[in-house]
Each structure stands twice: as C-alpha cells, then as structure tokens.
A and B are shown apart, each in its own frame.
Chain A
Amino acid sequence: MDRIFHALADATRRDIVMRVVQREHSVSALAASYAMSFAAVQKHVAVLERARLVVKERRGREQVVHPNPDTVREAARLLEHYEELWRLRDQSISKVLSEDREEDREGEKS
C-alpha cells in the first residue's frame, strides 16, 4: 500500500524520477550524481521499481533505468475520470446554489 507515496516521499528518489523521466540513465551514472554509495542509489531505484514508477533492465554490464510508461499513462487516464466527477459535482453545486436564489426571489414576491 502507499508505494507511490512512499517512493516519492524522499528527495533523492524524486530527483531520480525527474532525471529518468527526461532520459534513461544507468544506475552507475545516477550513483555518480549523488554523494552516496552505489548500493544506496540502487536501493532507491528498487523502491521506485516496486512503486512501478521506473523500470530497470540489464543491458550488457549496465543496469539501465527508464520511466514506466504504463503507470504514467494509466494514472493520467484515471485522473481524467476523477476530473469529470469533480466537474459534475461542481456543476451540481452551482445548480443547487442557483435554485436557492430562485426560491429566495419567489419568497420575496409572495
């Protein structure tokens, strides 16, 4: 549970995601960017992998990290549905408010 939250709660991991979204990186290239051990960077990448934010693959002697396109695309599609829900709710709120105003006017007339 909460894997994505947990994954993005750490500044280094957010930074890794930002870099990887722009273009793929090898784990060793990422390790060179931070003042921490190769093993520590590898652990961060593993957390991002479990949250399905990135995909790691072995290419020859290198481990290459790139964003997981499925997760990002799926998140966008689902957020769109939720966006429609709020649009509908806000429209209904607006309708309730305008009905109230009409009732007020009716009340004044009678």
Chain B
Amino acid sequence: MTVISSNKDTEALTLTFVADFDASAERVWQLWEDPRQLERWWGPPTWPATFDRHDFVPGGRSNYVMTGPEGENGPGWWVTTVIQRPYRLEFEDGFADENGDPVVEMGSVRVVVTLEEIDGRTRMTTVSTFANVEQMQQMSEMGMEEGMREAMGQIDRLLAEDDSA
C-alpha cells in the first residue's frame, strides 16, 4: 500500500484519505462487500470488528461490534446509500446501543468511497464528513482514542510484514 495523500479540512470537517493498493478494483470491492473480509480490516488491530448484519444494497443496514483489548464492546451501524459496483460506495456510519439501534443524538459520519484503476493498481479514496465538532469529540471519546493509541504499536509490525512479503 502507498498512501498518496491525506487531507484534513477543519472548516468542512472532512478527512480525505487516498491510498493505492496492489489489486484490481473488483478485488478491493470484495473487501467492502463480503462481511467476513470486511471484518479483517474495519476495526483497528486491537479493536477487531464483527459484522452481524451486512445488507450491502442501497438503503441496506449493517450492524457491527468492535471488541476492545479489555473485552469492551463498541457497537456501530451503517446504512448504505449508494452502490456503484465496483467503483463507488456511500454510507452513513454511527454508534449503536446494546441492541444495535442507532444512538440518534450521536449523529453519523458520511463516508464516500471511490475506487479507480490506475496502471493495474487501485486507488481508493475515502471522504469522511462529520456533522459538527461536538460529534467528533463524542466519537473520539467513545473508546476510539484509546484503541488508536494502542494500535499505533502494531503499525510497525504490519509494515515489517509487508516488507518481508
């Protein structure tokens, strides 16, 4: 993987993350489409995700739970809004309660994913848009931050594996 760019827009509250992968768009699309493959990367390494439901159609609902190092649960939901296989995907991502129902007051993050084939590789662009700063604060307080810090240590290991592959 090569990170092409990462752009934080503090006014529009968007993060645009662009990376190239050594695979076809069709192959990368499967990583989003197939819940068993999605589980292998959606949660940070110390907070792996399990998808109990993944209706990968426009208007379809997904439910997942990320499990932290101490066994704590971070439930979440998606509503997929746009699917243009294998080039474009849009969905809303938010926090859920214990029953998997959206925590409405937390709002959701709007994510737009585009895949583009360039010279046999696939460029994946994800644009995440937050509703407001308060929402971002809540989200990062809900365990995300801790998980992230611990996960940082794993990055070097992953990179080393990639190099030796």
Contact = CB atoms under 8 A, between A and B. Distances in A.
B1 A94 contact: yes
Contact of A93 (B1, B44, B145): B1
B15 A82 contact: yes
Contacts, number: 129
A17 interface: yes
A77 B132 CA distance: 13
A2 B140 contact: no
A96 B41 contact: yes
A4 B131 contact: yes
A86 B19 CA distance: 10
A58 B128 CA distance: 37
A76 B19 contact: no
Identify whether the interface residues of B are mostly helix, strand, loop, or mixed: mixed
A8 B11 contact: yes
Interface residues of A, number: 39
Interface of B: 1, 3, 6, 8-13, 15, 17, 19, 21-23, 27-28, 31, 37, 40-42, 44-45, 107, 124, 126, 128, 130-133, 136-137, 139-140, 144-145, 148, 151-152, 154-155, 158-159, 161-162, 165
Interface of A: 1-5, 8, 17, 51-53, 71-72, 74-76, 78-98, 100-102
